[in-house]
A and B are shown apart, each in its own frame.
Chain A
Amino acid sequence: MILAFQLAYRNLMGAGLRTWLNAAVLSFAFVIILFFNGLIDGWNQQAKLDNIEWEYGNGQLIHEDYDLFDPFSVQDGHGVLPVSEQENLVPILVRQASIYPEGRMLSISLKGIAEEQEIVGLPTHLLTNSTAEIPVIIGKRMASAANLRVNDEVLLRWRDVNGTFDAQHVTIVGIFDSNVPTIDNGQFWIPIKKLWEMTDMEGHATMFISTVDQPKEIPGWNFRSQEDLLRELTEIIEMKKASSSIMYILLLAIALLAIFDTQVLSIFRRQKEIGTYIALGMTRHQVVGLFTVEGSMYSIFAMILGCAYGVPLLIYLAATGIGIPEASQEMGVSIADRIYPVYGFALILGTIALVVISATIVSYLPARKIAKMDPVNAIKGKLQ
């Protein structure tokens, strides 16, 4: 085996340019696989942190009648939790409402939140400090959708607990910049006490953000842990990963095809050499092994080559991050303006294994033919 490596190394080095071309193509595949997966892993990590920081806290305690995916459940999905039970919990009350910016009507979620909270990144202190009658903070996406700026006033219409409409001007006291669209798109955040007043729903909440991992169980309320809440995001990102893999699988396929092609050609062209190996006392299986190792060695060279330009490049990209175009931020999944790729140990090992194993397989397939060669004809270089 060591001999096969030694000989394969000599053969490949001797073949010069052809070797490096194959290795170069394969190294592109290698670096790009690492980069893309690193990018997505980086996105995943960042999105998780963002979601925890802005929305999920240490988990959420949700009223059993409230379903995030069913807007109609907002109507009745709320309840009162005695203050004595509210230890480590930040209440949020969700109501449906409309705003009328520049004469248009936009439906929004009106969310009351305990303004003294510090568990999520929402700048609720702005609500406390404001002297406005009804202070509101909104996200940058909401701001641009409704064309609102700080200190703008906009007409808000809502229903109270009995379904009676009421309307009043509210004041934008802050616009926050978050990567998490689900707390931004179509949402107005106001002090929960104000919302209770406006709707006559003193003490009601739709959900609570927990500041501890394991709050005590309360009947009528479901606790969803951080992990549970993040699961969906992880699934979306995994899907994204699978769909983007098409592209580098294609690239890898091209690289493997180049190796396969080189192998088929070289077994065809190097018959005389194969015959000579056998005459010199190698068994056919040793020769098959030699050609297979030669092929899989492309992957080793690719790795060395890939490291030469890939390591600095990938480290640079991990440090500076990749700018994400505005358009992709409308997707509804958390995504930052810059993603910083992360290259995990598992990713690197997995990629190495993928490249080495696939290169070995495509080298072995044509090399099997050697085992059936007649050495006498091979020495003469006669095609069979």
Chain B
Amino acid sequence: MKTDIIISIENVTKKFKDGDGEFTALSNINLEFSKGEFAGFVGPSGSGKTTLLNIIGSLDSPTEGNALVMGKNIAGLSHKESALLRNKHIGFIFQVYNLLPVYTVFENVEFALLLQNYSASERKKRVMEALEWVGLQNMPDKKPSKLSGGEGQRVAIARAMVKRPEILIADEPTANLDAKNAHIILQMMKKLNEELDTTFLFSTHDEKVMEYLDRIVHLEDGKVVRDEVKNKVAAS
């Protein structure tokens, strides 16, 4: 099983400057995630969920300890290397979608592929495929401002998944959605997780999300208080 580990958090501590002193957002975290996991961080507000996801996503780096993602030590990466890691291997989904407002649905999804050197026809094929995954193949030319919340988040999923990343990071993806839409996107993500074997990492307060998760890591005050692995039964 060891070879399947794609994220490994070793003694990670994250401190933020807080006025004159320091604030410890994460303290001494040890975790491992294998390929294809559908896992999430749960805990009260301020417990460090987002901070941990940002470190795994190489948007931030630990103050102490090592975060190894795809075999790379996050703290040791240059800007260029971490950009490359995100571009090729990590997809992000945010609470407020963060779609690029002036781009169409198609262009938003296409973005990650533009950064890599795909031909126009290859891009088109992949983008349309990704839009099909989330059921938006009929509105590639819409602007984000014309989309409903659920559609917006589905575009975000397509944008994150179009490059078929190994890891998908979703920070409270359902927080702005109603129950129906939340279930729709969770089902889509679960399906993608199974079909593409992508590792999903969530942070959430949402009971609905927890229903779908195979593994829930409970955080409190920057510490792991419980690491709960559920049966796969929950999803079906």
Q: Is the beta-carbon distance between A10 and B107 smaller than 8 angstroms?
A: yes
Chain-A contact segment, one of B4-12, B76-84, B174-182, B227-235 = B76-84
Q: Is the beta-carbon distance between A379 and B59 smaller than 8 angstroms?
A: yes
- In the complex, chain B residues whose CB is within 8 Å of the CB of A7: 114
B151-183 interface bits toward A, Cβ cutoff 8 Å, 1 = contact, 0 = none: 000000001000000000000000000000000
Give the CA-CA distance A275 to B100 in the complex, in Å.
11
B30-54 interface bits toward A, Cβ cutoff 8 Å, 1 = contact, 0 = none: 0000000000000000000000001
Q: Which of B86-122 contact A (CB under 8 A)?
A: 86-88, 92, 94, 96, 98, 100-103, 107, 111-112, 114-115
Q: Does B129 contact A (CB under 8 A)?
A: no
- In the complex, chain B residues whose CB is within 8 Å of the CB of A284: 79
Give the CA-CA distance A276 to B101 in the complex, in Å.
11
CB distance from A291 to the nearest CB of B (A): 14
Considering the complex, give the chain B residue whose CB is closest to the CB of A371.
Answer: B79
Mostly helix, strand, loop or mixed at chain A's interface? Answer: helix
CB distance from A62 to the nearest CB of B (A): 70
Q: Is the beta-carbon distance between A280 and B60 smaller than 8 angstroms?
A: no
- In the complex, chain B residues whose CB is within 8 Å of the CB of A6: 114
Q: Is the beta-carbon distance between B92 and A280 smaller than 8 angstroms?
A: yes
Q: Which of B59, B60, B83 contacts A282 (CB 8 A)?
A: B83
Considering the complex, give the chain A residue whose CB is closest to the CB of B163.
Answer: A281
- In the complex, chain A residues whose CB is within 8 Å of the CB of B86: 278-281
Q: Does B62 contact A (CB under 8 A)?
A: no
CB distance from A2 to the nearest CB of B (A): 10
- In the complex, chain A residues whose CB is within 8 Å of the CB of B79: 283-285
Q: Is the beta-carbon distance between B102 and A281 smaller than 8 angstroms?
A: no
Q: Which of A10, A280, A283, A376 contacts B112 (CB 8 A)?
A: A280
CB distance from B170 to the nearest CB of A (A): 12
Q: Is the beta-carbon distance between A11 and B102 smaller than 8 angstroms?
A: yes
- In the complex, chain B residues whose CB is within 8 Å of the CB of A204: none
Q: Does A163 contact B (CB under 8 A)?
A: no
Q: Is the beta-carbon distance between B101 and A280 smaller than 8 angstroms?
A: no
> A280, A283, A285 — which one has the most chain B CB atoms within 10 A of its CB?
A280
- In the complex, chain B residues whose CB is within 8 Å of the CB of A95: none
Q: Is the beta-carbon distance between A376 and B101 smaller than 8 angstroms?
A: no
A343-384 interface bits toward B, Cβ cutoff 8 Å, 1 = contact, 0 = none: 000000000000000000000000000000001100100000
Q: Is the beta-carbon distance between A281 and B88 smaller than 8 angstroms?
A: yes
Q: Is the beta-carbon distance between A14 and B84 smaller than 8 angstroms?
A: no
Q: Is the beta-carbon distance between A375 and B98 smaller than 8 angstroms?
A: no
- In the complex, chain B residues whose CB is within 8 Å of the CB of A375: 59-60
CB distance from A137 to the nearest CB of B (A): 71
Give the CA-CA distance A14 to B141 in the complex, in Å.
13
CB distance from B194 to the nearest CB of A (A): 25
- In the complex, chain B residues whose CB is within 8 Å of the CB of A285: 79
Q: Which of A280-312 contact B (CB under 8 A)?
A: 280-286
Q: Does A13 contact B (CB under 8 A)?
A: yes
Q: Does A218 contact B (CB under 8 A)?
A: no
- In the complex, chain B residues whose CB is within 8 Å of the CB of A13: 102
- In the complex, chain B residues whose CB is within 8 Å of the CB of A379: 59, 94, 98
CB distance from A13 to the nearest CB of B (A): 7
Q: Is the beta-carbon distance between B102 and A276 smaller than 8 angstroms?
A: no
Q: Does B57 contact A (CB under 8 A)?
A: yes
Q: Does A15 contact B (CB under 8 A)?
A: yes
Give the CA-CA distance A272 to B98 in the complex, in Å.
7
B111-139 interface bits toward A, Cβ cutoff 8 Å, 1 = contact, 0 = none: 11011000000000000000000000000
Give the CA-CA distance A3 to B107 in the complex, in Å.
13
- In the complex, chain B residues whose CB is within 8 Å of the CB of A376: 54, 59-60
Q: Does A273 contact B (CB under 8 A)?
A: yes
Considering the complex, give the chain A residue whose CB is closest to the CB of B102.
Answer: A14
CB distance from A265 to the nearest CB of B (A): 15
Give the CA-CA distance A11 to B100 in the complex, in Å.
9
- In the complex, chain A residues whose CB is within 8 Å of the CB of B103: 10, 14
Q: Is the beta-carbon distance between A280 and B102 smaller than 8 angstroms?
A: no
> A3, A284, A286, A375 — which one has the most chain B CB atoms within 10 A of its CB?
A375
Give the CA-CA distance A285 to B60 in the complex, in Å.
17
Given A3-B114, A14-B101: A279 in contact with B57 (beta carbons within 8 A): yes
Q: Is the beta-carbon distance between A10 and B102 smaller than 8 angstroms?
A: yes
- In the complex, chain B residues whose CB is within 8 Å of the CB of A282: 83, 87, 115
CB distance from A214 to the nearest CB of B (A): 65
- In the complex, chain A residues whose CB is within 8 Å of the CB of B114: 3, 6-7
CB distance from B146 to the nearest CB of A (A): 13
- In the complex, chain A residues whose CB is within 8 Å of the CB of B101: 14, 273
Give the CA-CA distance A15 to B143 in the complex, in Å.
12
- In the complex, chain A residues whose CB is within 8 Å of the CB of B102: 10-11, 13-15
> B59, B60, B83, B112 — which one has the most chain A CB atoms within 10 A of its CB?
B83
CB distance from B235 to the nearest CB of A (A): 27
Give the CA-CA distance A219 to B139 in the complex, in Å.
91
> A15, A276, A281, A286 — which one has the most chain B CB atoms within 10 A of its CB?
A281
Residues of B within 8 A of A (CB): 54, 57, 59-60, 79-80, 83-88, 92, 94, 96, 98, 100-103, 107, 111-112, 114-115, 159
Can you name 16 A-B residue pairings with CB atoms under 8 Å?
A3-B114, A10-B102, A10-B103, A15-B102, A273-B100, A276-B98, A276-B100, A280-B115, A281-B112, A281-B115, A282-B83, A282-B115, A284-B79, A285-B79, A375-B59, A376-B54
List 12 extra interface pairs beyond A14-B103, A272-B96, A278-B86, CB under 8 A: A3-B114, A10-B107, A14-B102, A272-B98, A279-B98, A281-B84, A281-B85, A281-B112, A282-B115, A284-B79, A375-B59, A379-B98
Residues of A within 8 A of B (CB): 3, 6-7, 10-11, 13-15, 272-273, 275-276, 278-286, 375-376, 379
